[in-house]
Chain A
Amino acid sequence: MSTVTGITKTMTVTGLAVAAVYGATRVALRARRAWRNMKIIQSVDTGSVWTTE
């Protein structure tokens, strides 16, 4: 394997790994924000599970 090919492969793997970590972090942060917002909305407890329509 030539040096150039090795560097290219290493950069590709590194790039993919960084992208994966970045993407996973973004998803995790979004999920955490959604979860927190859900808890805020749910904090207004109506005390009723009823729907009657």
Chain B
Amino acid sequence: MKFSRNRATLRIAIIGGGFGGIGIGVLLKKAGIHSFEIFEKSANIGGVWWDNRYPGAEVDTPSVMYSYSFEPYRWSRTHVRQAELLEYMEYVAEKHDLMGHVRLNTKVERADWSDKAQQYTVTFGDGSMREFEIVISAVGLLSDPRYPTWPGLDSFEGEKFHTSRWDSSVDLTGKRVAVVGTGSTAVQVVPNIAPIAGKVTLFQREPGWVLPKGAQTFGPAEREALNDPIAQKLVRWGMLIQREKFQYRNAAWRPGTPENAASERAAREYIARVFAERPDLANLVTPSYPFGGKRPILTDDFYPALLRDNVELVPYAVDSVTPDGLVDMSGTHHEIDVLVMSTGFKSSFASTFDVTGHNGIDLHTTWAGDDKAFLGIMVPSFPNFYMLYGPNTNGGAIVTHLEEQIRYVVAAIKHQMRNGYSALYVDEAITEAYNVILQNRLKGTSFDGVNNYYASANGRIITQWSDGAIVYALATRLLRRIAWRGKRVVRSSVKQPIVLPVDREYQQPDVATTPQHADADLQKIIQASEV
């Protein structure tokens, strides 16, 4: 159902201009809903693909899958680099006329729900405030850099930066560069800086399981074929189906399954092949935990880079920092000129801003580190608040998951508008039951007991989904109606609960003239109804 332009609608704040924010913008417009604004803290859209501009930044998932199903693209490679992904996102935003809805350099600090006014007050970095009936978090999972707390870090006299805040003004030519971390980012950085750096010292706390990615450049024939949207969709579906047997019940991440054994065997064979003449290195890069305990690493050039004369693998974490180097856990001091921190991101959700919901409860306080939600999207007591790429939605085809979440949110907003609800909640008991079932299905996976970003400090798996993309798609479509609860507030002074001008060229209202649904407008809640 499309909503006509003159129909009452809701003001929607979307926080984050990455894959989630742009994707939901497109689908809201397709649904005829234009009263949304996308707030992006950076100077451009793109999210992680704007922030992560380190050398060699590249997607791990084939680009045919790591893209919107509704917007195929003529990719240059099987796994494209950061610049092309950013180009793709700009292409999508321009094609769907979204840039008029985007507010760049606008950081959202907090969103506070008012039970009386049935709306959120969104506070921005400059202290200004605006009212929105609906808030959608599209800030993703891995967007807030995790900086180390090593003693002496501030005393380091050379250049230092996090990989997601890469300082391209620093010339690494001939320099002694330390890269701390061996996750999916570091394995892309090292092969790309090793040819120019004087020496690269890589600090590895614990190795990851590595498999070859098989990234290739598309030739003219393949690029021509990519122009065929139906063909690209067929390839995408084929990949999804192929991956399901690895992902249903997390087969590949469950020790003892044929899929897990085959994956670990392939990773061990890869180590044996590359390090045939360097058993010392082979030993250092072989993990001691089951395959899948940490995020598997896909790369074609990391292991070969470790064989270079100017690359040293230090099998220890960093203990402390001196003005001219790093001291590892064995007590050895390493002199360096530049410190690159590939130390990952905070694995919490909606982490870049605060949210308060019904009765003023705080989202992060409620979670207390054990982030959870219904299908990763809605949290009880937080009406009209949605998350994209929320708790327990990671794993597998992320953009496919993201699209399902977007469709869920658009359906919820339409449901709310159609029924005239001022608030749409998710049922608490159903959410609890859902999370119990989900955690049961995650038991026995490799994630347990390994130092990874999947688990909270309490050991609860908070990031991973349990059953592959197809089951997630079915769950988001079949379970939503039974979990939604609507509340209708009617304002005696206003015929429609919420009425705003809506047109295709919806522009950011002047703050001074923004309709303020003050408390005085709301006489009382006269009706509360269940869906």
Interchain CB contact under 8 A, A37 and B212: no
Q: How far is the CA of A52 from the CA of B222 in the complex (A)?
A: 24
Which residue from chain A places its CB closest to the CB of B184 in the assembled complex?
A52
Q: Which of A30, A35, A46, A51 lies at the interface centre, i.e. has the most chain B CB atoms within 10 A of its CB?
A: A51
Give the size category of B's interface with A: 35 or more
Partner of A42 from B66, B219, B235, B295 at Cβ < 8 Å: B235
Q: Which chain A residues numbered 11 to 53 have a C-beta less than 8 Å away from chain B?
A: 30, 33-38, 40-53
Whether, in the assembled complex, B394 has its beta carbon less than 8 Å from a beta carbon of chain A, the answer is yes
Q: How far is the CA of A47 from the CA of B232 in the complex (A)?
A: 18
Whether, in the assembled complex, B396 has its beta carbon less than 8 Å from a beta carbon of chain A, the answer is yes
Set of chain B residues within 8 Å of A37, measured between Cβ atoms = 225-226, 228, 230-231
Q: How far is the CA of A48 from the CA of B246 in the complex (A)?
A: 12
Interchain CB contact under 8 A, B234 and A40: no
Q: Which of A36, A40, A42 lies at the interface centre, i.e. has the most chain B CB atoms within 10 A of its CB?
A: A40
Give B18 Cβ to nearest chain A Cβ, in Å: 13
Set of chain A residues within 8 Å of B304, measured between Cβ atoms = none
Whether, in the assembled complex, B290 has its beta carbon less than 8 Å from a beta carbon of chain A, the answer is no
Whether, in the assembled complex, B216 has its beta carbon less than 8 Å from a beta carbon of chain A, the answer is yes
Give A50 Cβ to nearest chain B Cβ, in Å: 6
Q: A33-B228, A52-B184 are in contact. Are A41 and B211 (CB under 8 A)?
A: no
Give B168 Cβ to nearest chain A Cβ, in Å: 25
Whether, in the assembled complex, B297 has its beta carbon less than 8 Å from a beta carbon of chain A, the answer is yes
Give B302 Cβ to nearest chain A Cβ, in Å: 14
Q: How far is the CA of A25 from the CA of B476 in the complex (A)?
A: 37
Interchain CB contact under 8 A, A52 and B232: no
Partner of B216 from A35, A42, A44 at Cβ < 8 Å: A44
Q: How far is the CA of A38 from the CA of B221 in the complex (A)?
A: 11
Interchain CB contact under 8 A, B234 and A34: yes
Interchain CB contact under 8 A, A48 and B211: yes
Interchain CB contact under 8 A, A40 and B221: yes
Q: How far is the CA of A52 from the CA of B225 in the complex (A)?
A: 26
Give B192 Cβ to nearest chain A Cβ, in Å: 19
Interchain CB contact under 8 A, B216 and A34: no
Whether, in the assembled complex, B178 has its beta carbon less than 8 Å from a beta carbon of chain A, the answer is no
Partner of B212 from A47, A51, A53 at Cβ < 8 Å: A47
Partner of A52 from B212, B242, B296 at Cβ < 8 Å: B296
Chain B residues near A (Cβ < 8 Å): 59-62, 64-66, 78-79, 184, 211-216, 218-219, 221-222, 224-226, 228, 230-232, 234-235, 238-239, 242-243, 246, 263, 295-298, 394, 396-398
Apart from A46-B78, A47-B212, A52-B184, list 6 A-B contacts with CB within 8 A: A30-B230, A38-B234, A41-B235, A49-B243, A52-B60, A53-B60
Could you give 9 example pairs across A and B, Cβ below 8 Å?
Answer: A34-B234, A37-B231, A38-B235, A40-B225, A46-B79, A46-B214, A47-B214, A49-B243, A53-B66
